A and B are shown apart, each in its own frame.
Chain A
Amino acid sequence: MDLSILEALEREKVLEVLQRDKLLRSLEDERIRKMKLELQEIRRKGAKSFARQYSERTCARCQRPLGKFWNCGAVCQGCSHRICNKCRIVISAHEWKCTVCHAFREVKIKSGDWFLEERSKKFPGGAERHETVGEKLLKSYQRLSHISIVPPTPPPFSEGPSFSRSGGLQTSRPFTKSMENLFVSLTSHMKKVSKSQNDVAVVDRALLTADYGKISTKERRSQSDTAINRPFGLTKAPSLPDLFKRPKSEDEEGAGTSEAYTDEDVSPNTEYHEEKRGSISSLCTELGIFTCNNSVTGEIELALGYSIKTSCLEISIRACRNLAYGDPKRKKCHPYVKVYLLPDKSPNRKLKTAVKRNTTDPVFNETLEYQIDGAWLVGRVLQASVWHAGTLKRKVFLGEVLLPLESWDFEHSTTQSTKWHLLCPRVTAPEGPEGGAGEIHHCELMIKAKFTSSPPQLPKAADHQREETHMGQLSILITGANNLAILRSSGSLNSFVKGCLALPSGVELTQKTQVQRRRSGPDWGHRLLFTAVPEASLKGSSLELGLWDHAPFGLPPRPLGRAKLEGAWSLQKLLQTPNMWLEFSLPFHPSANGKKM
């Protein structure tokens, strides 16, 4: 029998096995998907959301009120939330878990996540740690076989000892590279990778234990970017299941304080039990009145899911790791996470997690929910910022991530897996002096925008580039404003809007609307129309809208404020959905009185 035929048969055989394995895997994937979907359902019922008031005195799962002396609930060892009698699952005489923690545990076992997690402790690998060897082989073979269709160039003569096993094979070998050889190269490569990672890991761990305290935060950050830091991070991995692994001291403390501290940013002169919306110090943090930590380190783990059925955006804040100390001098850190859907920064749209005490690797495992229509996600950016709840209501900024929701893949909406995101320093600088009092920062201008591309015209002149002939119309409809303080004080306005579309080429197109007289409420229909907008350059443009109050008797008009529509993602969206009205709410910066715009 010809050896080359045998090897081909071997390869066929192995591939057939791998195909069967693939079938089983897809069955398994589907099962896990369903399981996680069910878990999501259970979690949703107990999710904290701004629509539902939650406090220390309600069960974190069913939201039933809890009494002070009887039926007062107890703190779940897993999530540190207060849970009523009915939402517990008793494991033994002394042990119980809340429904959500119990379901988490079940899913972790049944999905095989326990295995992946254990293995990642030994083989710290990146994203592809879930991939099985069979899967990898199958993929790499498919890729290779695809390539081998192209007639290969003759190999160099000194190819390798493994090839000279049978003499007569020299000519046919390049075409039928045996599966075995493929395996050898692939597996040795895989081993090399994992080995080198391990080596680095060992060295690094030793280093970290030796002078962990001395390593500056700057260094820690640079390490977190590489695989080097992974084993260190992973042993402390603040993933879901670590809920169950936390040392009891932390559990106990968390139980005692975390709930109480959710209200921590109520200003000193308000009652403790006052509604936490619009807390003063939170305004302060938005206004830049906070201590800015000079160094931002670490990552945040979160997942996003959007349910079209319930119009609900779910943000699962899992954990953070390698945070900088909020109080570097005393090596203290009491982190919590605050979430906004930018540009909406109104206080009642702010969501926060509980404060975790004394940790730079907090595990939150909280799901925050926004009821928001899908269309409104256009142009929104999820801002998740991490703060240190310091003493005397002092907040220290620890970092933030900004995630444009438009580019987010909500396709697998309910089973989004969590991802680690590197925390960044604040990108949006604190507002300048025109950002006077606190309230004004939560104003927003509601607009609708539509891009209509004109039918392509014939090039008029030969020297014109073709792109420039693709012109379009940008229609803007200013529909109203939120929380506009000026309106409330003066009662009515004679408003008009000036719009300025700045193209990347430096050209500015300016438009002005008619004055709408004596409209009391902020429900206008200011319409702007920019014609001859080059389609190709819309993405890089910005539209500034100024709102003015028309003054009588020829006096100069009074500027009320301005807002800006910019950013590639929102303008891109306009291009992608031509002839459709898209809604935006833009942060509106009111002008200080008399200030020239």
Chain B
Amino acid sequence: MFCAVSTMTDGDYDYLIKLLALGDSGVGKTTFLYRYTDNKFNPKFITTVGIDFREKRVVYTATNSNGTTGKTFKVHLQLWDTAGQERFRSLTTAFFRDAMGFLLMFDLTSQQSFLNVRNWMSQLQANAYCENPDIVLVGNKADLADQREVQEKQAKELADKYGIPYFETSAATGSEVDKAVITLLDLVMKRMEQCVDKPAQEAPNGDGASKLEAPPPSEKKCAC
């Protein structure tokens, strides 16, 4: 579905998609993104100062409604990394409004970081571009099985409650990292189409056929 493209400094892409990683300090947002963009792992903890971003170009293959693969597009990903530290909070939340999708991350070895997911969710609701933006819940550090404090079932339930996908990833091994980002990108790509094609209200996913077959309105009244 996706594959990396090398050159990055030209405007030869079809979409610029802005995603943003958020979550408590130390859950591994920076290493997660580093793994995704460069496929490398840095075990050192360097706290992010305010904000940062990484870029990656991928090829996206659209899937049609009937499941067949459609056109391919070049996507330029701008992946915003935010500081988890409290003192940068006002700055980082301000950047929420420019992102199209969110990687809400917690540390599988820290119950506290998981408990804070709810707080991050409400921060998103308040600051993101819409009330229900596309979010993927990510439990990171899955490789540290012996230190695990959050059970998969627990996290899955929370994700289901919010109606968002959940992934257990490891920036150290790279497991599920790509899948989490790709899933989010897919959600955003589908969201774009919906926003353009459907009325602003909660329109049912009716296809074009029903539109065409709609009876003509009987509004005509005599003008005299």
Residues of A within 8 A of B (CB): 10, 13-14, 17, 20-21, 24, 27-28, 30-31, 34, 77, 91-95, 105, 108-110, 112, 114-115, 117-119, 121-123, 132-134, 179-180, 183-184, 186-188, 190-191, 235, 241, 244-249, 251-253, 256, 358, 391-392
Chain A residue nearest to B11 in the complex (CB): A31
Q: Are B91 and A94 in contact (CB under 8 A)?
A: no
The reply to whether the CB of B175 lies closer than 8 angstroms to some CB of chain A is no
Nearest chain B CB to A140 CB, angstrom units: 12
Please give me the residue from chain A that is nearest to B52 by CB atom. Answer: A17
Q: Which residues of A contact B209 (CB under 8 A)?
A: 92-95
Closest to B51 in A: A17
User: Is B11 in contact with A94, judged by CB distance below 8 angstroms?
Assistant: no
Given A105-B197, A114-B192, A241-B196, 17 new contacts (CB under 8 A): A10-B50, A14-B49, A92-B65, A105-B196, A109-B196, A118-B130, A119-B97, A119-B130, A122-B130, A123-B97, A134-B51, A180-B87, A180-B88, A183-B90, A183-B91, A251-B211, A391-B224
Q: Closest CB of chain A to B130's CB: distance in Å? A: 5
Question: Of residues 52 to 83 in B, which have CB atoms within 8 Å of A's CB atoms?
Answer: 52-53, 55, 65, 78
Residues of the A chain whose Cβ atoms lie less than 8 Å from the Cβ of B162: none
Interface string of B189-202 (1 = CB under 8 A from A): 00011011111100
Q: Which of B11, B65, B87, B219 has a CB less than 8 Å from the CB of A28?
A: B11
Given contacts A24-B55, A115-B129, contact A95 B208 (CB under 8 A): yes
Chain A interface, >50% SS class:
helix
Render B8-35 as a binary contact track against A, CB cut-off 8 A, 1 for contact. Answer: 0111011110000000000000000000
Write out the residue numbers on chain A whose beta carbons fall within 8 Å of the beta carbon of B13: 31
Number of B positions contacting A (CB below 8 A): 47
Contact of A118 among B91, B93, B195 (CB under 8 A): B195
A244 & B196 in contact (Cβ 8 Å cutoff): yes
- B224-A94 in contact (CB<8A): no
Instruction: List A contacts of B217 (CB < 8 A).
Output: 249, 252-253
Q: Distance (Å) between the CB of B207 and the closest chain A CB?
A: 7
Q: Are A21 and B53 in contact (CB under 8 A)?
A: yes
B43 interface residue, CB < 8 Å from A?
no
Question: Which residues of chain A are near B192, meaning CB under 8 Å?
Answer: 109, 114-115
Q: Can you give 25 A-B contacts (C-beta < 8 A)?
A: A10-B50, A13-B50, A14-B50, A14-B51, A31-B13, A34-B11, A77-B212, A92-B65, A92-B208, A94-B209, A95-B208, A105-B196, A110-B15, A112-B15, A114-B195, A119-B130, A134-B98, A186-B94, A187-B94, A188-B90, A245-B198, A248-B214, A252-B214, A253-B219, A256-B216
Across the interface, do B55 and A247 meet the contact criterion of CB distance under 8 Å? no
Contacting A at CB under 8 A, from B169-224, are 192-193, 195-200, 207-209, 211-212, 214, 216-217, 219, 223-224
User: Which among A27, A109, A123, A358 is the interface contact of B219 at CB below 8 angstroms?
Assistant: A358
